[in-house]
Structure 1
Amino acid sequence: MECIEPVLAIVKSGWGPICRQLDYIINLEKNLEDLNKQKENLDAKMVDLKEKITRDISKVATRECNQWLDYVKDIEQQVSVIQEKYKVDEKCLAGWCPNVCSKMKLGKRVEEIIKQITDLNNKRSTFEGRELTDAPLEKVQPQNVESNSLAATERTLKEILMFMEDDDTKMIGVWGMGGVGKTTTMKLLNDRLEGSPAFEIVIWVTVSKAGNRRNVQNAIAERLELIKSESDDQRKARICKTLRRKKFLLLLDDVWEMIDLSDVGIPPLNQVDGRKVVLTTRSLKVCRQMKTNKDVKVETLSEDEAWNLFIKSAGDVAMTSDIKQLAEGIVKECGGLPLAINVVGSSLRNNGDVVVWRNTLRELQLPTTSENEDMEEQVFPCLRSSYVLLQDCKKKLFLYCSLYPEDSEILITELVEYCWLEGYIHGVGSIEVAREKGHSVVMNLVDASLLETCAK
């Protein structure tokens, strides 16, 4: 017995691995069935997860979620290889001529894959409810403005960018009369910041005359992909929470009256670097009410700039001998306003009919009889809205200016005295008080971009 026992121990130790190898062959078909069921379960989880990802466009899959999907994709490929290998082996003389070594390797591989699938199925439950995270916001939403490469626009843009480099400058006001190119400048600024590391997000909001707290809030919430159906206070809190973690630039275009940014949900600009606001308005008064740190006035175009822009819009036909003088008159009537120049120039583009050009000039000189639909629909409303919102006494004083010859300089004291005598300035008991009140009215019209100061 002393000699036999060691031999039995050796046999037992060798028989275990052999039995294990035989199990791979014996259990192959059963394990393949189990593999297919496990794979179907895994496939169902994968489909559900992908549907969940695509259903919420404001969310993206987490790294853990994407990693799990990559593992599933890899496992599926391995299962396909195993299934194909099994089919090939079964075709060998209808399964009567099996390759034992090949079947053992295949059986072992099936069990390994089953374990990996089980681990993946278990892994899926570990990040249930944490599959998605907020989608990264697009840094800049391009405005795709067509720039005419005007030197004046570039100068204004350069000045704004220079002010933005100053950490102490948190809010910049860009002001000027309607149609002068403020919005174009703002759009160029928006697009210019596409690759800038200064901000994590640029938010564009068109405010307009109808702008109010809710409209501005909704526009910002939409840009930040927040829920708009909440109450104003809930939306305010959510906007503030989102922006508090970001370096942002808020572009407010066409502001007509003061906006309380804190009431909208904008966190304090001076608490952290990287928070700035740039707004456009027709009124310097709005800039003052908004407490801007720097103000940039957008001037009308010089004669040369206006002419060059008109040629780009109207084409070389404006340079022909029988039209050039009319074209110069038309440009003069447009008053250096890019909007008017582009609208009129485009309506005359490549039109060689002198009569049409002459009629266009006449209608610009006598706008009350004009039948130019482009000007009526695109330019006049832009200019008219500044006048409509004036108080009555300011309207009368402004209209009184039209009695002076075109392009003439008007003495403020003279204008005020005439308006006082006409009864346009109310609530004053003496000419001295009338002069002071009238002077304030005139300067309000200057701040509203309806009158221009003359060089002294």
Structure 2
Amino acid sequence: MLPRSPVDELPLEDTGGSELTYCKICTFLKDPQVRIMGLYGIGGVGKTTLLKKINNEFLGTSNEFEVVIWAMVLKSPDIEKIQQVIWNKLEIPRDKWETRSSREEKAAELLRVLKRKRFILLLDDIWEGLYLLEMGVPRPDTENKSKIVLTTRSQNVCHQMKAQKSIEVACLESEAAWALFRKEVGEEILNSHPDMPMLAKVVAEECKGLPLALVTLGRAMAAEKDPSNWDKVIQDLRKSPAEIRGMEDKLFHRLKLSYDKLPDNASKSCFIYHSMFREDWEVYYFHLIELWIGEGFMGEVHDIHEACDEGKKIIKTLKHACLLERGGSREKRLRYMM
């Protein structure tokens, strides 16, 4: 059999607008001190797209890595399945691999081979820290010159994986968001009525720069020439966005995973408390904590100081889950991401 290609091309639909983030990633990929790098951000923001772009960048070019490995991890990681993906990229004879009956034996075999190779491992959608040696992956260092790049929704996972560099993947700026939405809708629809460009811009603004929302809505409206239906979509986005075709399955299901992963009911209650306020509401964090305390979200605490400490922990949890971010340019102001 012919030796396997060191890089498998992945299907990639580049949404654009993330060039600065990608340039930053490439800079750290070349940094010998950065062996593990994490990309974190809210669901649907384009982390997987960036990781695929990194993978495909190695196609047809000479690079320092002998093998490029892509593995999807997901919320409940299947270690043996990940091991199988890694084996598929390595030149380990099938009969030798199949005699390794246990996960530990397979890990030992992968470790034996990977220790002799300069590899880059791309791990997509990690929800909790992984034990690399348990999978059979040696930890990258300056001696073996291998690298790991991972995507996650939580900055905490980057810390658990001991990433030397963590990069937040943010939503698109307004111009890039409009360009993406315009591309998905198509010029024919935008030119079909004098009011259409204005209505389309309002819809794009309601997506708040989230690429998955822009693509989902853009494709849903790509054949809609009736301005009254665009007006209805705008109203639905402001009142009941889940009723729009494709939004629940393609967008909200992914975002709900971040909510479900919150560690306790207090964090979840504090997050959904935002639904009482107007869109893009910003607040000083100490005022937000006071509101949470007033609602009784902090549970059984001995005094106001302990309650405030609990509130600060919840803010940190929501920020690391990319469900809460700093508001405007002020460090002490916050706003919700959803």
TM-score (structure 2 length as normaliser): 0.90
Please name the residue that 2:84 is paired with.
218
Question: Over residues 393-417 of structure 1, what are the superposed CA-to-partner deviations in whole Å (9 max), with x where a residue is unaligned?
Answer: 1000001122221112112111111
Equivalence for 2:275: 402
Deviation at 1:359, TM superposition (A): 2.0
Other structure's SS at 1:179 match: coil
Q: Counterpart of 1:192?
A: 57
Instruction: Give the structure 1 partner of residue 293 of structure 2.
Output: 420
1:136 is matched with 3
Any idea what SS the aligned residue of 1:246 has?
coil
Deviations 1:116-144 (A, max 9, x none): xxxxxxxxxxxxxxxxxxx5331111112
Instruction: Give 1:156 deviation, angstroms.
Output: 1.4
Give the deviation of 1:437 after TM superposition.
Answer: 1.5
Per-residue deviation, 1:271: 5.8
After superposition, the CA RMSD in angstroms is 1.7
Corresponding residue of 1:437:
310
More divergent stretch after superposition (229-238 vs 315-324): 315-324
Name the SS for the 1:268 alignment partner.
coil
Q: Which residue of 2 aligns with 1:147?
A: 14
1:162 is matched with: 27
Structure 2 residue aligned with 1:287, among 155, 158, 172? 158
The CA deviation string for residues 299-323 of structure 1, in whole angstroms up to 9 with x for no partner, is 1011111111100000122364212
Amino acid at match of 2:36: M
Cα shift readout 1:411-435 (whole Å, capped 9, x = no counterpart): 2111111111211112421112211
Cα distance in structure 2, aligned partners of 1:199 and 1:367 = 48
Structure with bigger RCO (C-alpha 8 Å, 6+ apart): 2
Higher helix share: 1
In structure 2, what is the equivalent of residue 261 of structure 1?
132
Give the superposition deviation at 1:225: 5.9
**Aligned equivalents of 1:218, 1:255: Cα separation in 2:** 17
Give the conservation status (yes or no) of the 8 Å contact 2:125–2:152. yes
SS of aligned partner of 2:252: helix
Q: TM-score, normalised by structure 1?
A: 0.67
CA distance in 1, matches of 2:248, 2:64: 41
DSSP-derived class of the 2:39 partner = strand
SS of the residue aligned with 1:436?
helix
Distance 1:162 1:350 in 2: 41
SS in 2 for 1:377: helix
- Deviation, 1:273, is 3.7
The amino acid that maps onto 1:217 is Q
SS of residue paired to 1:207: strand
How is 1:22-101 mapped onto 2 (pairs within 5 angstroms)?
A: 60=1
250, 253, 257: which one pairs with 1:385? 257
Query: What is the match of residue 371 of structure 1?
Result: 243
Determine if contact 1:176/1:299 at 8 Å carries over to the other structure: yes
Match of 1:176 in 2: 41
Counterpart CA distance in 1 for 2:19 and 2:174 is 17
> CA-to-partner distance for each residue in 1:329-360, whole Å, 9 max, x for gaps?
21122111111101110111142111221222
Among candidates 399, 411, 420, match of residue 284 of structure 2: 411
1:428 and 1:215, CA in 2 relative to 1: closer, same or farther beyond 3 A? farther
- 1:252–1:280 contact (8 Å) kept in structure 2: yes
Q: Of the two, which has the highest radius of gyration?
A: 1
Q: Extract unaligned runs of 5+ from structure 1.
A: 1-59, 61-134
Q: How far did 1:362 drift?
A: 2.0
Find the residue that maps to 1:410 and give its secondary structure. Answer: strand
Q: CA deviation at 1:214?
A: 2.6
Q: Decide whether the 8 Å contact of 1:137 with 1:201 is kept in 2.
A: no
Partner Cα distance (2:275, 2:243) in 1: 22
How far off its partner does 1:324 sit? Answer: 2.2
Mapping for residues 339-350 of structure 1, pairs under 5 Å: 339-350=212-223
Q: Secondary structure at the match of 1:345?
A: helix
Q: Structure 2: how far apart are the matches of 1:398 and 1:196?
A: 47
Match of residue 278, structure 1, among 137, 145, 149: 149
1:203 matched residue in structure 2:
69
* SS of residue paired to 2:325: coil
Which has the larger share of strand?
Answer: 2
Does the C-alpha gap of structure 1 residues 324 and 385 become closer, same or farther in structure 2, counting only changes over 3 Å? Answer: same
SS of 2:286's partner is: helix
Residue equivalent to 1:330: 203
Q: CA deviation at 1:256?
A: 0.4
Alpha carbons 1:167, 1:273 under 8 Å: kept: no
